[in-house]
Amino acid sequence: MIYLDHAAATPVSRKVFEAMEPYFLSDFFNPSAAYLPAKKVAADYEAAKATIAHAIGAKTSDLVITAGATEANNLAFTAINARGRVGDFSGTGVAPARRYGRSAPSFSVVTSGHPLKIPTRPRILYLVTEHDSVRRVAEQYGGEAIRVLPSGLIDLDDLKTKITDETELISISLANNELGTIQPLAEVAGIIREVKIDRMKRGIKTQLLLHSDASQALNLLDINVARLGVDLLTLNAAKIYGPKGVGALYVSHDTKLKPLTMGGGQEKGLRSGTENVPGVIGFAKATELAREHLNGNRKKYASWRKILLSELQGCEIINKKHTLDNFVVLCYNGIDAERLIFLLEEKGVYVATGAACAASKGRKSHVLKAIGLSDAQIAGSLRISLGETNTDEQIHEAAEIINSVVQSEYERIRHA
Amino acid sequence: MPKTVFVGMSGGVDSSTSALLLKEQGYRVVGVYMKNWSKDLPGMKCPWAEDLADAKRVAVKLGIDFEVWDFEDAYREKVVDYMLAEFKKGNTPNPDIMCNQEIKFKLFYEKAMEAGADFIATGHYARVKQSSLLRAADENKDQTYFLYRIPEEALAHTIFPIGEMVKPEVKKMAEKHGLHNAYKKESMGVCFVGEVGMRDFLKEYIDVQPGEIQEVETEKTLGYHEGAVFYTIGQRHGLYLNGEKGAINDGLPYYVVKKDLKNNVVYVSKNLNDKNLWTNELKLKDIFLRREMGASQPVFARLRHRAPLIPAKFDGKKLIFENEIKRPAPGQSAVIYDGEVCLGGGIIE
């Protein structure tokens, strides 16, 4: 097997698995229990959280553990309704953006029997290429999409024009899950800082937060929340050789959120439910390993990427620059890439078209569309994401197999 | 130059093996997934994307062309709207029969012919001989009940590649050729929505009111129903009376014998001999005959898919049975056979 889809899922690494094991079998206690063995589990849990927090330059108390990145993204958006203000009608709930279409210029609030039109502008901006776990939530809140350039990078001019006095939250992933594009978050943070200063001068107290989904990046980029200038940051264990169903949301100390799950008040009341101790222990171990091997892996992936770019034939490279080292996104003109996937799977090579979620719903990738690819180009696009399961030999072999399969498809089409 | 066949591929083993056989017989084969329905219901993911992927994976394995044809609008209009309208009238329609008549053997057939097909093919268990529709070799799987209304012209250009095979052979053949879906579970429930019962589907589309369930003999209220349209005459299970399912006190089951849609009352009876449950003739409407037949000609009728064949005579308007039969639900089809030849049928009034 040659697995080239590490952006979709990674295996749990042996060391992570071994670190987790005792917490399933012997140290299974509920961290909230009163006896000493449970207290030890609670301490281990906190230590694991500290490991994760410190890896991104945050404090342990800034981290909320969630059941995966999707939940962390959902939780981040509660910042919108967490601060109730006098006269803030927009806090009445979710704006009916879907019903009125993308622009959602206004919605009515009933006060003393008279429908009153209150103009509202979007309070959320999000990058058009975001993962569905951001996009769908943002749409629910009536958010507005920011364009990307053909390179996949954020169109900063578009961002500047779309920020208004109502904007409260801007969500931009650190690295895109289909293209690997690394966004210039620090620049965005700079723009946000200017807007905030301007608002202060004019006495406008509306918050303006920056959220970033860094699910794809913890093992591929050096992440520091202060340097990035984010208020909210989503992390995901499942993409860094940790367990699935474990994620975290970094929440800067002055950002207020509202819980999505009520109960025993764990995670500072933001995420009730008995702590997933083995999951977080695994997440911490995976984070530790990711940081330890960060530079070595990046170099390795970059060299493999180079090999693929030079050996793969008959394709156009989609993610030319500003990309994670392990992403190779290709387009084979006139070929149905899904056919390639099925042909490659027969030879034990696993790759992806677009995001796995989008593919399983039979939808075309909104990301590839956003960077201006035609329908035919989108249909011919393959995503290769390299990772720790790969070896030098595999890369050459994969290139050879992909080339031969592509060749056979071109021949089949010619004869049809 | 080999003849071209467009084969409807649903992602299941029957249509996959059909494509395989055609390919082996030397046809130029084009696989087509007909996208008829893709809407999810609350708590229920429509399996269309997975089915499509299964179909495509097989097409790639066989090295044949593959296309997706979108019939969603037509399907909604011709099949789903028809079905909902019939249920609202209190009938029990059969959407599969309508789908074959309007979509597979009409739109798909026409589009395939325009695209240069010599034939179309599907994975139905049925046979065609000298333009006659014949029951399948696998009597257990025969699907002619669903096909009795398909247009003559389409039938003349249709191949049923697995019509001579029995299901276990089909599965074995698929497995032998490495088709991944050889043992894929057959879909249950409403065919186009996936693993969801008709009742759950209807609840989404028909505004129903709860009402009373009364004993037909005494007009005594025995319990309550969620909506009369959900009940079919002759139905036994699914009746919650006095908190017990399908039975009351003495343990004898109740049957639905009558529906009063206007007053939203469902009538039930413990009396299996209730006159509403039995009949010796069935009046048919929307009759579609593939062959002429005389009023005195002895024929066989099938009143449900896979139901036994019942000896009968057909006078052009109604089926007459020698013995009383349990009355089938109005809206269902009665299909008429002479030996293995499907002569046509009609919809039970």
| pLDDT digit string, tens, across residues B201-255 | 888 889 888 999 999 999 998 888 888 888 888 887 656 665 555 555 566 788 8
CA distances from A147 to A123, A127, A161, B170, B182 (A): 17, 6, 11, 51, 45
- Please give the pLDDT value at position B275: 87
Residue A360 C-alpha, separation from nearest chain B C-alpha, in angstroms:
6
* Whether residue B191 lies in the annotated active site: yes
Q: Which residues of A touch B49 (CB under 8 A)?
A: 360-362
Which CATH number does the domain housing residue B229 bear?
A: 2.30.30.280
Rounded to an integer, the average pLDDT of A375-402 is 96
Residues 6+ apart with CB under 8 A from A385: A4, A5, A6, A7, A8, A180, A326, A327, A328, A352
Asked whether residue A358 is assigned to any structural domain, the reply reads yes
Yes or no, beta carbons of A346 and B50 under 8 Å apart: no
Q: Which residues of B touch A342 (CB under 8 A)?
A: 56-57, 60-61
Q: Within a 10 A sphere around the Cβ of A162, how many other Cβ atoms?
A: 17
Q: Which of B46, B113, B137, B191 is catalytic?
A: B191
Rounded to an integer, the average pLDDT of A183-203 is 96
B329 closest CA partner among B230, B246, B226: B230
CA pair distance B311, B323, nearest whole angstrom:
9
Last residue within a domain, chosen from B173, B199, B225: B199
Q: What is the DSSP pairing of strand B255-260 with strand B265-269?
A: antiparallel
pLDDT band at A112 (very low <50, low <70, confident <90, very high): very low
- Please give the pLDDT value at position A90: 41
Last residue within a domain, chosen from B269, B288, B311: B269
Q: Which residues of B touch A339 (CB under 8 A)?
A: 56, 60, 66
Q: Which residues of A touch B56 (CB under 8 A)?
A: 338-339, 342
The answer on B80 and B192 residing in a single domain is yes
Q: Is B57 on the interface with A (CB under 8 A)?
A: yes
Give the range among A70-74, A348-352, B127-131, B248-252 with minimum mean pLDDT.
Answer: B248-252
- Please give the pLDDT value at position A366: 93
% residues pLDDT > 90 (chain A): 84
The answer on B246 and B287 residing in a single domain is no
pLDDT band at A88 (very low <50, low <70, confident <90, very high): very low
Q: Above 60 in pLDDT, residue A108?
A: no
Which CATH number does the domain housing residue A369 bear?
A: 3.90.1150.10
Asked whether residue A343 is assigned to any structural domain, the reply reads yes
Rounded to an integer, the average pLDDT of A56-77 is 97
Which CATH number does the domain housing residue B53 bear?
A: 3.40.50.620
Asked whether residue A329 is assigned to any structural domain, the reply reads yes
Residues of chain B with pLDDT below 50 are: none
The answer on B173 and B135 residing in a single domain is yes
- Please give the pLDDT value at position A98: 36
Q: How far is CA A353 from the centre of its chain?
A: 17
The answer on B338 and B319 residing in a single domain is yes
| Cα four-point dihedral sign A314, A318, A319, A320 | positive
With contact defined as beta carbons under 8 Å apart, do A313 and A406 qualify? yes
% residues pLDDT > 70 (chain A): 88
Measure CB to CB from residue A412 to each of B48, B57, B63 and give the nearest one: B63
The answer on B154 and B136 residing in a single domain is yes
| pLDDT digit string, tens, across residues B219-228 | 998 888 888 8
The answer on B329 and B193 residing in a single domain is no
With contact defined as beta carbons under 8 Å apart, do A273 and A233 qualify? no
Q: Which domain holds residue A367?
A: 2-12+294-415
- Please give the pLDDT value at position A103: 40
Measure CB to CB from residue A342 to each of B48, B60, B65 and give the nearest one: B60
The answer on B221 and B193 residing in a single domain is no
Measure CB to CB from residue A416 to each of B38, B49, B65 and give the nearest one: B65
Residues 6+ apart with CB under 8 A from A64: A72, A75, A248, A249, A251, A257, A267, A268, A270, A271
Asked whether residue A93 is assigned to any structural domain, the reply reads no
- Please give the pLDDT value at position A335: 92
Asked whether residue A368 is assigned to any structural domain, the reply reads yes
Q: Which domain holds residue B344?
A: 278-348
Q: Which of A54, A357, A396, A403 is catalytic?
A: A357
The answer on B179 and B161 residing in a single domain is yes
Number of domains within chain B: 3
Q: Is B115 on the interface with A (CB under 8 A)?
A: no
* Whether residue B342 lies in the annotated active site: no
The answer on B257 and B140 residing in a single domain is no
Last residue within a domain, chosen from B150, B173, B199: B199
The answer on B154 and B26 residing in a single domain is yes
Residue B33 C-alpha, separation from nearest chain A C-alpha, in angstroms:
12
The answer on B239 and B170 residing in a single domain is no
pLDDT band at A356 (very low <50, low <70, confident <90, very high): low
Q: Nearest residue of A to residue B56 by CA position? A: A339
Q: Above 60 in pLDDT, residue A405?
A: yes
Residue B112 C-alpha, separation from nearest chain A C-alpha, in angstroms:
16
With contact defined as beta carbons under 8 Å apart, do A88 and A118 qualify? no
- Please give the pLDDT value at position A109: 42
Asked whether residue A351 is assigned to any structural domain, the reply reads yes
> Taking all residues of chain A, what is their mean pLDDT, rounded to a whole number?
90
- Please give the pLDDT value at position B178: 95
| pLDDT digit string, tens, across residues A198-256 | 999 999 999 999 999 999 999 999 999 999 999 999 999 999 999 999 999 999 999 99
Residue A342 C-alpha, separation from nearest chain B C-alpha, in angstroms:
6
Number of domains within chain A: 1
Asked whether residue A383 is assigned to any structural domain, the reply reads yes
B142 vs A111, more confident:
B142
The answer on B238 and B216 residing in a single domain is yes
- Please give the pLDDT value at position B39: 82
